[in-house]
Amino acid sequence: MVTTAIVAVLFGVLSATGVDRRATALTAADAASQQLIAVQDVQVRLVHADAIARENYLRGGIEDGAKRVTYAAELAAVSDGLVSVANSVLSNEAATLAGVSAQLSRYSGLVEQARANNRQGFPVGASYLRTANTLSGEMVASLQSVQSSLRQQVNDSLDRADKAGIWLHATGWPLLVMLVVGGVWVASRFRRVLNVPLVLAAVVMLLILVVGGTVQGSAMADAERATSGPLQAADLAAQARSASFTAHAQEFTTLIARGSGTDDGAWQTSISTTELALDQLCTIADECSLKSYVRDYADAHASVRDSDNSGDWDAARKSSLDGEATLSFAALDSASSSTAAALGQQAAVAMSSAADGLALLRVLSFLAGLAVAALVLVGFGQRMREYR
Amino acid sequence: MTVRARSARALLAALPALLIAGCAGGGRLPAAVQGSAPTTTAAPDTQTYSCPADEAEADGVTPKSYEPDGPLPSPSSLPAGSTMVEIRDRGALRIGVSADTLLFGARNPLSGQIEGFDIDMLKEVAKAIFGVNDAGAYDLLDFVVIPYSQRIPKLRSGEVDIVAHTMTINCVRWQQIAFSSEYYQSGQRVLVEATSPYTSIDELDAAGATVCVPDGSTNLEKMADYPGINTVALPDISDCLVALQAGEVQAITGDDTVLAGLKKQDPATAVVGDKFTFEPYGLGIAAEHVDFVKFVNALLDEMRTDGRWQAIYDRWLLDTLGPQTPPTEQYGRVEK
């Protein structure tokens, strides 16, 4: 009797702990997923700013004023975003992001030197720009390493949440078996069919196991669906968007380096990353509309390269800055921006709501343990009094 | 079977399903996607070229070019069937140039035009073929901006008629293409900050100074002669100027033509010391277009004597490289 009561109390404590661990792990997964989206936003803004810096350099002394305003706004957003995310991530990632912040100051200085030289018609500006571009590449690599770490944190948190679910069942089902076996034993021993408190204890256990199992299973399934659904979709959309800006920036770089850099391999690698990400996005989220925008831009880019490779750099530059390539990339940018924003919002909502209901279950499972212990004591106590 | 037994069995049967519901599994974030560029397997030029013993020149002597058959023909009397007539009938002279070598071939960001000493030389060639004025000549140039590595391949493939790209004439290159007579005599010099105490490569060597040089260049090979210098090789000579401005190196060494362009971009620098290598520049032309080489040589002969070469030099290089006269032509190459 006492053993069963103790097991019941233990069940209450352990199952509540298990539910609590699952809730904590799912909350951690939610936090890591939000940090992932935030870091991706920082990266997208950085590569966007870098693409604008190269575009304005290619324009020469006469820059596009609106683009320059956008460049400044994106850099400011990158700076703010780095500070904001660094305050919420683990120390390793925070140190990496602090390094990116330091590089950002140097990057903006190099771009300004490139701009100043370019406005005077000095080719050394291209070297300053190239140094800045190399630095932005290093910053992107750092941000990608933070993203990899955050993806791993999401997955590790889900694994922890998964494992925590066992506590409810590992303690609950043996307790229920003990209650049933104990009830049967008491019934046969005392020749009484029903012991109401023991039956109630078994019913409470069964209910908490079924309802609790369903609630925490549902929370886990919701989190995993959110991860492999909206979160992965948002992740892919951000990757596609970032790679598309990198490709666009590379188009400008190739034209800036006319005569000393006709290799289009970097553009092809970036656009291939964009296409791969969008293929997967199409598969998992049925969001396939962006692929046609990429194809249109790739066609326009091919025309830019054809013009440049055949010696008509002016036509290539015109198409890249104010022609078909500009229009097709602007369409891709606009469409991918709204898609990425919508998917990011969906992911945030889906991940944050996954743990809903676990707080109540944690209390209920603890109370159920106490109630079962009390009912066991009452039930066995009745029979003991009758026996005496 | 009793009711109790059936209930117990039902519970046991439900256990696995409930356990599964509690431990759903799956649903993880995959690693980031990574695209790749299609691999291109361009056939490398495996042929090696060397200088035949009977064509080898002494160090410091410009290899000979083809002597003109006579005075420069007027645009209206170009020899029938010649390369020049072919170009005139096409309506454009296809030129291979640099667009980032300030003073020799660089794009003016305000005008959008590529300009410099090399470009003016090619405008003279266009004027001689088409009979147009200076402004009209620019419109008849079909610019193909090429990197250093593409100068010879573009000529050999026929994509350009002529290359003016700070290109040194040497015996090995003569095995692949033809050259005009020398139109500019360059050499390796040193660029330092205007306040620098160093005035020559030897002083830098003696002081163990740090000197920047473009990677993969003949300039870098020459540094083996100065073991005291701490050599820093960067991808482009403009990167060297960035390093000099950042105080990371004390000097830059390269062809005086390129250094002149760097000085133009940073007035707080100075080109110092004598030339310590010999770099005769020539206009590159396809090996089979000997008639065109002779035509260009006749034009250069005229320009040397009528002041046009000097005017072009003074316009672009006098301020930074000081006074210089046209190099002397070296003729006598035998057509094979």
Tell whether B79 is covered by a domain: yes
Residue A171 has pLDDT above 70, yes or no: yes
Q: How far away is chain B from the Cα of A156, in angstroms, using its nearest Cα?
A: 9
| ipTM of the shown complex | 0.84
Is residue A284's pLDDT more than 60?
yes
With CB atoms and an 8 Å threshold, state whether B109 touches A269.
no
What would the mean pLDDT of A318-346 be, rounded to a whole number? 92
Averaged pLDDT score across all residues of chain A: 89
Q: Are residues B210 and B242 in the same domain?
A: yes
Chain B residue nearest residue A208, CA to CA: B18
CA A320 to chain centre: 33
Report the candidate in A164, A155, A159 with the shortest Cα–Cα distance to residue A22: A164
Q: What are phi and psi of B281, to 5 degrees?
A: -90, 140
- With a cut of 60, say whether residue B177 has pLDDT above it: yes
Amino acid at B201: I
- Say if residue A119 is exposed, middle or buried (CB neighbours under 10 Å; 0-12, 13-18, 19+): middle
Apex A290 CA angle, A287 and A295, nearest 5: 140
CB contact under 8 A, A268 and B37: yes
- Same domain for B255 and B292? no
Is B27 in contact with A165 (Cβ distance < 8 A)? no
- Indicate if B152 and B251 belong to the same structural domain: no
Domain with A104 in it: 2-387
Share of chain B above pLDDT 70, in %: 90
Search chain B and give the residue with CA nearest A194.
B4
Q: Count residue pairs from A and B with Cβ separation < 8 A.
A: 179
Same domain for B88 and B150? yes
End-to-end CA distance of chain B: 112
Q: B97 and A158 in contact by Cβ < 8 A?
A: no
Whether A233 has a pLDDT exceeding 60, the answer reads yes
User: B30 to chain A: which residues are within 8 Å by CB?
Assistant: 151, 232
Residues of chain B in contact with residue A220, where contact means CB-CB under 8 angstroms, are 22-24
Nearest CA in chain A to B35: A273
Rounded to the nearest angstrom, the minimum Cα separation between B165 and chain A is: 11
CA A322 vs. chain centroid, Å, equals 35
Which residue of A lies nearest to B15 if distances are taken between CA atoms?
Answer: A173
pLDDT at A188: 79
- In the predicted model, is pLDDT for residue B307 greater than 70? yes
Nearest CA to B327 out of B218, B168, B172 is that of: B168
Q: How confident is the model at residue A174 (pLDDT cuts 50, 70, 90)?
A: confident
Residue B146's pLDDT is 79
Q: What is the CA radius of gyration of chain B?
A: 31
Among all residues of chain B, which has the CA nearest to that of A264? B37
With CB atoms and an 8 Å threshold, state whether A235 touches B29.
yes
Q: Do residues B231 and B203 share a domain?
A: yes
What is the predicted pLDDT for the residue at A176? 84
User: In this complex, do B24 and A269 lie within 8 Å of one another by their Cβ atoms?
Assistant: no
* Closest CA of chain A from B7, distance in Å: 9
- Within 8 A by CB and 6+ apart from A96, the residues are A142, A145, A146
pLDDT tops 90 at residue A328: yes
User: Residue A268: which of B29, B38, B97 has the nearest Cβ?
Assistant: B38
- Using CB atoms within 10 A of its CB, is residue B93 exposed (0-12), middle (13-18) or buried (19+)? buried
Contact B145 A223 (CB under 8 A): no
Is A234:A340 a contact under the CB 8 Å cutoff?
yes
Between chains, do B24 and A127 touch, taking CB under 8 Å as contact? no
Residues B170 and B142 in one domain: yes
Q: Cβ of B24 and A221 within 8 Å?
A: yes
Q: Are A61 and B101 within 8 A, CB to CB?
A: no
The answer to whether the CB atoms of A223 and B27 lie below 8 A apart is: yes
What is B124-169 written as a DSSP string? HHHHHHH---HHHHHHTEEEEE--GGGHHHHHHTTS-SEEESS-B-
Report the distance separating Cα B240 and Cα B251, nearest Å.
9
Residues of chain A neighbouring B145 (CB-CB closer than 8 A) = 258-259, 311, 313
Confirm whether B90 is domain-assigned. Answer: yes
pLDDT of amino acid B45: 65
Q: What number is the average pLDDT over the span A171-180?
A: 84
From chain A, pick out residues whose CB is under 8 angstroms from the CB of B142.
Answer: 311
Mutate which of B33, B111, B146, B157 to test chain A, going by most A C-beta atoms within 10 A?
B33
CB < 8 Å to B248, chain A: none
Q: Which residues pair with B214 in a beta bridge?
A: B234
B223 and B309 part of one domain: no
DSSP A62-113: S--HHHHHHHHHHHHHHHHHHHHHHTTS-HHHHHHHHHHHHHHHHHHHHHHH
B295 and B177 in a single domain? The answer is yes
Lowest mean pLDDT among A9-23, A317-331, A338-352, B3-17: B3-17
Sign of the alpha-carbon dihedral angle for A179, A182, A188, A190 = negative
Domain containing B146: what range? 75-185+280-321
Q: Are strands B284-285 and B162-164 parallel, antiparallel or unpaired?
A: antiparallel
Cross-strand pairs, B93: B141
Residues of A in contact with B27 (CB under 8 A): 158, 221, 223-225, 227-228
Contacts of B101 in chain A (CB under 8 A): 123
Residue partners of B228: CB distance under 8 A and separation at least 6: B204, B205, B206, B207, B208
What tokens does A246 get? 């990198």
For residue B279, give how far its alpha carbon lies from the nearest alpha carbon of chain A (Å). Answer: 21
Residue A242 has pLDDT above 70, yes or no: yes
Query: Is the model more confident about A380 or about B77?
Result: B77
pLDDT above 90 for A13: no
Residue B285 φ/ψ, nearest 5 degrees? -140, 150
- Give the distance, in angstroms, between the CA of residue A239 and the centroid of all CA atoms in the same chain: 11
CA distance B195 to B177: 43
Asked whether residue B149 falls in the same domain as residue B266, the answer is no
- Number of structural domains chain A divides into: 1
pLDDT in tens, B65-122: 999 999 999 999 999 999 999 999 999 999 999 887 889 998 887 777 899 999 999 9
End-of-domain residue from the set B250, B272, B294: B272
List the single best residue of B9, B28, B163 to mutate versus A (max A Cβ within 10 A).
B28
The mean per-residue pLDDT over the stretch A338-346 comes to 92
Q: Do B142 and A144 touch (CB under 8 A)?
A: no
Which residues of chain A does B14 touch, with a Cβ-Cβ cutoff of 8 Å? Answer: 210
Q: What's the CA gap between B252 and B237, in Å, rounded?
A: 8
Among A43, A118, A260, the residue to mutate for chain B (most B Cβ within 10 A): A260
pLDDT of residue B315: 95
Question: Residue B155 domain-assigned?
Answer: yes
Minimum mean pLDDT among A256-270, B2-16, B21-35: which range?
A: B2-16
Quote the pLDDT of residue B121: 97
Collect all residues of chain B within an 8 Å Cβ-Cβ radius of residue A265.
Answer: 37
Domain check: are B284 and B268 in the same one?
no
Residue range A41-52, pLDDT digits in tens: 999 999 999 999
Q: Is B140 domain-assigned? A: yes
Specify whether the CB–CB gap between A256 and A57 falls below 8 A. Answer: yes
Q: How many domains does chain B have?
A: 2
Judge contact between B335 and B66, C-beta under 8 A. yes
Q: Distance from A148 to chain B by nearest Cα, in Å?
A: 7
Unique residue bearing structure tokens 């007579």? B181
More confident call, B309 vs B143: B309
Domain at B117, CATH number: 3.40.190.10
The number of beta carbons lying within 10 Å of the beta carbon of residue B325 is 10
- Interface mutation target, options B20, B29, B100, B244, chain A, most CBs of A under 10 Å: B29
Quick one: average pLDDT of A30-55?
A: 95
Q: Is the pTM of this model over 0.90?
A: no
Which site among A122, A244, A318 would you substitute to test the B interface, given the most B Cβ atoms closer than 10 Å to its Cβ? A122
What is the mean predicted confidence (pLDDT) over A159-171? 87
A253-262, B110-119, B191-200: lowest mean pLDDT where? Answer: A253-262
Can you read off the two tokens belonging to residue B5?
A: 């037994």
Å between A225 CA and nearest CA of chain B: 6
Q: Name which of A127, A147, A244 to mutate to probe chain B: the one with the most chain B Cβ atoms within 10 A of its Cβ.
A: A127
pLDDT(A247) > 80: yes
Nearest to A169 among B19, B33, B145 (CB): B19
CA atoms within 13 Å, Cβ hemisphere of A15: 34
Chain A residues with beta carbon closer than 8 angstroms to that of B99: 258-259, 313
> What Å distances lie between residue B292 and A32, A161, B19, B75, CA to CA?
70, 80, 88, 13
